[in-house]
């Protein structure tokens, strides 16, 4: 394994070659992989490292000791959580992925014509990179940039893609999308198409979503754009079931968060003490997920503790649902123009393209 210090970044990282030959930056503070890219004949260092995050332990302690306890939904995505999420997308109740895939399959050529070919496809929350890969044919990107908080998970996905598309320039970045997006110099400037599928925008508050979209707009030249999937408002029973499925996969996904908190914080959560709760609140137009204490539970961690009364909850996720016209208006407000939307017959879900 070769190792080399990166110069001058806001966070110290080292560049290593892993066993598969991919380049990986590892954060010096946690040792976690931060960015991976496919090896190229013309090797250039990835000069980007994620901004110094507020220490995860501080963030978790603050959430767990808040009067209404909360844990950020970004902690769902450890290797097991990422796989559980993948299983969620295959559930009969979780229509989002299926409908979105159908829209891409049915309108792919139109989407390709609207978004334009070539350029750089920047896949935000890439996961297993499957969704972007399905668009490679119609978008024919020159460069593919996969961004996800779980860089470990990206590494495997990218390995496969490198073999299938050897001439495509590929880069993987481990970044927390809740923080301002930092793109390294290796990401080409012209014709950037930000791809944000899966209605992940719904996991931000509407205010955060607007800021996030404004930030993306600011990182595009005029020939750039945005291709985004958005879940739309619909009947409560449909939404309730999508986040509380009969097999209990979403419950496992939610509960696994506690295992992840234990790993990071050294806390004493026992998943048996907690119950999955999920429901659509039409007033706030969002599905809320919580973990509810089954009994009085005392949780400890180095330097702290909290007693949760029976029935008390930890808020773990919001998933906002939009009306199409409201989302289009948001895109216009942050500077996008020429918005095109594709939806399914029931208008449950929309894919939108907007020009920067
Ligand atoms: C990733 N995100 C868009 C999912 C959602 O629908 O909000 C996360 C999820 N939570 C429970 N099920 C799926």
User: Of residues 154 and 104, which shows the higher confidence score?
Assistant: 104
pTM of the prediction?
0.84
Measuring from each residue's beta carbon to the nearest atom of ligand 1, which residues come in under 6 Å?
A: 88, 96, 198-200, 202-203, 243, 250, 317, 319
Of 45-49, 136-140, 352-356, the poorest mean pLDDT is in: 45-49
Question: Residue 33 pLDDT > 70, yes or no?
Answer: no
Residue 200 confidence class, pLDDT cut points 50, 70, 90: very high
pLDDT per residue as tens digits for the range 170-189: 999 988 888 889 899 999 99
User: Of residues 243 and 47, which shows the higher confidence score?
Assistant: 243
Residue 11 confidence class, pLDDT cut points 50, 70, 90: very low
For position 65, what pLDDT does the model report? 98
User: Of residues 25 and 224, which shows the higher confidence score?
Assistant: 224
Question: Residue 284 pLDDT > 70, yes or no?
Answer: yes
Spacing, Cα 319 to ligand 1 middle (Å): 7
135: nearest Cα among 170, 90, 104, 97: 104
Residue 54 confidence class, pLDDT cut points 50, 70, 90: low
Residue 39 confidence class, pLDDT cut points 50, 70, 90: very low
pLDDT per residue as tens digits for the range 205-255: 999 999 999 999 999 988 999 999 999 999 999 999 999 999 999 999 999
Mutate which of 200, 249, 281, 322 to test ligand 1's pocket (most atoms within 8 Å of Cβ)? 200
Residue 304 confidence class, pLDDT cut points 50, 70, 90: very high
Spacing, Cα 21 to ligand 1 middle (Å): 33
Question: Residue 37 pLDDT > 80, yes or no?
Answer: no
For atom 5 of ligand 1, which residue has the closest CA?
Answer: 319
Question: Residue 27 pLDDT > 80, yes or no?
Answer: no
Spacing, Cα 48 to ligand 1 middle (Å): 28
Of 2-16, 151-165, 268-282, the poorest mean pLDDT is in: 2-16
Mean pLDDT across the stretch 14-40? 35
Percent of the chain with pLDDT over 70: 84
pLDDT per residue as tens digits for the range 126-136: 988 999 999 99
């Amino acid at each position: 394994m070769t190792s080399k210090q990166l110069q001058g970044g806001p966070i110290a990282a080292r560049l290593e070659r892993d066993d598969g030959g991919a380049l990986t930056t590892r954060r010096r503070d946690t040792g976690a992989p931060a960015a991976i890219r496919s090896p190229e004949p013309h090797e250039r260092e990835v000069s980007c490292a994620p901004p110094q995050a507020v220490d995860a332990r501080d963030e978790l302690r603050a959430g767990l000791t808040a009067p209404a306890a909360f844990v950020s939904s970004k902690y769902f995505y450890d290797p097991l959580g990422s796989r559980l999420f993948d299983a969620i997308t295959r559930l009969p109740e979780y229509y989002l992925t299926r409908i979105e895939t159908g829209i891409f399959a049915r309108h792919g050529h139109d989407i390709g014509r609207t978004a334009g070919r070539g350029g750089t496809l920047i896949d935000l929350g890439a996961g297993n990179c499957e969704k972007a890969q399905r668009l490679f044919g119609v978008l024919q990107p020159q460069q593919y940039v996969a961004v996800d908080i779980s860089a470990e998970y990206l590494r495997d996905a990218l390995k496969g893609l490198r073999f299938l598309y050897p001439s495509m320039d590929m880069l993987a970045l481990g970044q927390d999308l809740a923080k301002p997006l930092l793109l390294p110099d290796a990401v080409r400037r012209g014709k950037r198409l930000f791809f944000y599928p899966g209605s992940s925008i719904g996991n931000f508050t509407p205010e955060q979503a607007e800021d996030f979209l404004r930030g993306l707009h600011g990182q595009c030249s005029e020939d750039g754009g945005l291709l985004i999937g958005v879940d739309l408002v619909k009947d409560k029973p449909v939404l309730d079931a999508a986040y509380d499925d009969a097999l209990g996969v979403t419950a496992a996904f939610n509960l696994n968060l506690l295992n992840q908190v234990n790993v990071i914080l050294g806390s004493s959560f026992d998943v048996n003490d907690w119950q999955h709760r999920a429901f659509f609140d039409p007033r706030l137009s969002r599905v809320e997920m919580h973990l509810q204490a089954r009994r009085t539970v005392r949780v400890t961690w180095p330097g702290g503790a909290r007693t949760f009364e029976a029935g008390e909850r930890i808020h773990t996720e919001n998933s906002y649902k939009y009306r199409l016209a409201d989302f289009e208006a948001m895109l216009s407000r942050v500077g996008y123009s020429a918005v095109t939307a594709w939806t399914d017959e029931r208008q449950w879900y929309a894919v939108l393209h907007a020009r920067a």
